[in-house]
Structure 1
Amino acid sequence: MGAVLDGIKNRRSIRKYKADEVPKDKLLKVLEAANWAPSNGNEQAWNFFVARGEAVVKVCKVFSDFARDYIPKAAYIPDDQKAAMLKYAENFGGAPIHIIITYELFEGNAEKTEKSLMAACAAVQNLLLAAWEEGLGTVWIGGETCHSSITREVLGLRNTQKIAAIIPIGYPAEAPLVTREDVQSKITWIGF
């Protein structure tokens, strides 16, 4: 198996981090990888926000406040996992840094906005894989925290910027095993 496929299969979503600071040169490496993502018409309509310190605390509070209300009521979450999820929501597992990837909202042009989001998601994938190769753990956070006006204010986003992902990043304190369903159950062959 090639290095890229190895990275794809071995990468894990990390939810518990060491407190060790991540050197800026490592962060630049993973951001460079993200910046090489494909995009429609080579528009590259993404931006990267790298946050630590008080900004991380504020974003975590938005997530924690939402989770405290949402998780206890979420019927699809097993009861025995709710306490751990609420604990994680307090500080994203202690990740010292968050990388936020945004995409452009093109007013009146839903198709262009959708393509911008797709490209930003490709940048997210590149970043996740590059981080793992650098010995760093990540997890892709989306949902309510990304849409919060508080999160937007903390980051200083323009009205035309939307968040594709909040990515806690740091050195993993643990790396759980992950399995996947057999790919054959997800394939529809047409014309073969």
Structure 2
Amino acid sequence: MPIMDEWLADTAASYDTVAGSYAEFVRGALEREQYLSAALTVFAGAVRAAGGGPVADVGCGPGQVTAHLRGLGVDAFGVDLSPGMVELARREHPGVRFEVGSMTALELPAGSVAGVLAWWSLIHVPDDEVPVALGEFRRVVRPGGLVQLGFHVGDVSRLKTEGYGGHPMRVHVHRRRPEKVAGWLREAGFAVDAQWLMQPDTEVPQAILFARREP
């Protein structure tokens, strides 16, 4: 078995530690944040319009977004680096498929999914590994399939040493400009369909990019 990169190991261990507290932190977020739920509605509608099929929620955490997508008629399943998160997601959403995995080496066949959702999970991936992850997304998504990315907007990276509930963590959090992420998507073989900028007047705006795999 290959040795896991340090940043991957740190991320998995950190989210194992905060799994329960993080689940409470995000509980009800989709009901409170109308733009987030609207983005999922658009994504789900595009997947259905393109013929449907399985969708991978990569970096699914406690599974609330995966479950929401299923409620929108999408055959969604979750993948997360943290075994603790996957265990919690399975417990909170019985009957939904969740598995441990890394976005830099997805254990999915080529062209096997209709879409990939990665909400605020690329934020922990170093710049030089983002093209690897996006290359994996392109590999597993069928031609014309959808990708939606959510992330913090900015130009800085910081080491997060304490997280949800005051638990110790060791993860880098990278804020990126939408145009930079869009450029990575295009280089990976995706066409960018739309860009949402949310909370632009706050210290840390949020962005969502909608894209589709080119043939």
Report if TM-score (shorter chain) is over 0.5. Answer: no
Richer in strand (by share): 2
Q: Which has the higher contact order (CA 8 A, sep 6+)?
A: 1
TM-score w.r.t. structure 1 length? 0.27
Give the structure with higher Rg (CA): 1
